[in-house]
Structure 1
Amino acid sequence: MNKFAPKGCDSMEDEKKSVLIEDLTANPAPLGLLGFGLTTVLLNIHNAGFIPLNSMILAMGIAYGGIAQIMACAMEYKKGNTFGTVAFGSYGLFWWSFVLLLVLPKMGLATAPDKLSLAAYLFMWGLFTLVMFIGTLKLSRGLQVVFLSLAILFFLLALGDITGNATITLIAGYEGIFTGFSAVYVGLAQVLNETYGKDVLPT
């Protein structure tokens, strides 16, 4: 006790102060979800056989699928959100790795991967996504749908490559379109719900 403090008063050392810090930064999740979702839809329109794999998809993979998610990853890190940091960082870099898989052989800088290599690549991403899905069980139902359907997509694509069965890859394409649109829905729902201050779209 401070001997100079007035009688009946606690000393400065004994005082407890609470500071309320309000987070005024924007929610980065919609940016990451939309970057992932729109690019996934376009790639799987190709897997479903509607369009060829061209520069439109590669550009989306680098810019919106890649850079936008990496930006969201950095913003989630600032917010202390480990799940968002790992998810957006990983899938953003997935898109960069996917584009490099296609571009490096064209530039003569690497050998194109064989079907077994691609299957291993896709299987590992499926396994990672399946474990991340377990994390979403503490989050929203919308994110559960996104991560579970994405894990199924990776496993289907891996199975299609390892078996050489074009029908499986075709089915994966349609399933991937659903996965992409589910991420787009959750991302836009978060934007609208925060803008209107109420649940306009359920997640």
Structure 2
Amino acid sequence: MNRRTNVMADQRTLVDNTANPAPLGLLGFGMTTVLLNLHNAGFFPLDTMILAMGIFYGGAAQILAGLMEWRKGNTFATTAFISYGSFWLTLVALVLIPKANLAGIAGPDKATAMAAYLTMWGFFTAIMFLGTFRLSRALQVVFGSLTLLFFLLAAGDFTGNHTLTVIAGYEGIFCGFSAIYTALAQVLNEVNGRNVLPLGAIA
């Protein structure tokens, strides 16, 4: 006796009950950026406080947020958080590897290698900035100011003009706080179920 099996498509809807990881990624980026640029602005030297933030909060926490955004199917946030988390880890490595004297590897020359490194991140951020025009005004400010920050830092290294680096430091402090604002606005808006702090969502 022949048996015919009918395979029915599963039409159940998957409900995503996971938390929004974007505030974590934005805070990891924003708080670490503020601290590094307080150094660039001349308030304190580069020390283990900045390096530790770069490894664990700017680096690891952002990568974790990016992986959670991947689970949600958010390509933009996945690319942004994992990329900038990796940026912080590579930046720390650029500082620590020469000090560890591994195989006599020298640190990057600021006028060439470091300027090229920062310029590449500037180009990447400029393209990501274009994507924010479909997202929110708050993210436009974050990515727009970050693009400017990378190019200012690259110009400061390439020309050896310390004043440009100091200007970049103050601009970077603004950039970091704009990311912190965006993160905390998302948290407070979600907790209260209404717009407590505006993000300028794009219709």
Match of 2:98 among 105, 110, 128: 105
Q: Does 1:161 align with 2:154?
A: no
1:23, CA displacement in angstroms? 1.1
Report 1:80-159 matches (<5 A).
80-109=73-102, 110-115=105-110, 116-159=112-155
Q: Which has the larger Rg?
A: 1
Alignment coverage as a number of residue pairs? 191
1:91, CA displacement in angstroms? 0.2
Amino acid at match of 2:128: M
Q: Does 1:202 align with 2:195?
A: no
For 1:100 and 1:20, the matched residues in 2 are separated by: 44
Match of 2:32 among 39, 46, 52: 39
Report 1:187-198 matches (<5 A).
187-198=183-194
Structure 1 unaligned residues grouped into runs of 5+: 1-11
Tell me the TM-score normalized by structure 1: 0.91
Tell me the TM-score normalized by structure 2: 0.91
1:19, CA displacement in angstroms? 2.7
User: Root-mean-square deviation (CA), in Å?
Assistant: 1.4
For 1:33 and 1:200, the matched residues in 2 are separated by: 18
Identity of aligned residues (%): 65
Q: What CA deviation, in whole Å up to 9, does each residue of 1:115-156 have, x standing for no partner?
A: 111000000000000000001110011001000100000000
For 1:54 and 1:167, the matched residues in 2 are separated by: 21
Q: Secondary structure at the match of 1:190?
A: helix
1:20, CA displacement in angstroms? 2.9
Amino acid at match of 1:124: M
1:16, CA displacement in angstroms? 8.6
Structure 2 unaligned residues grouped into runs of 5+: 1-5
For 2:93 and 2:15, the matched residues in 1 are separated by: 41
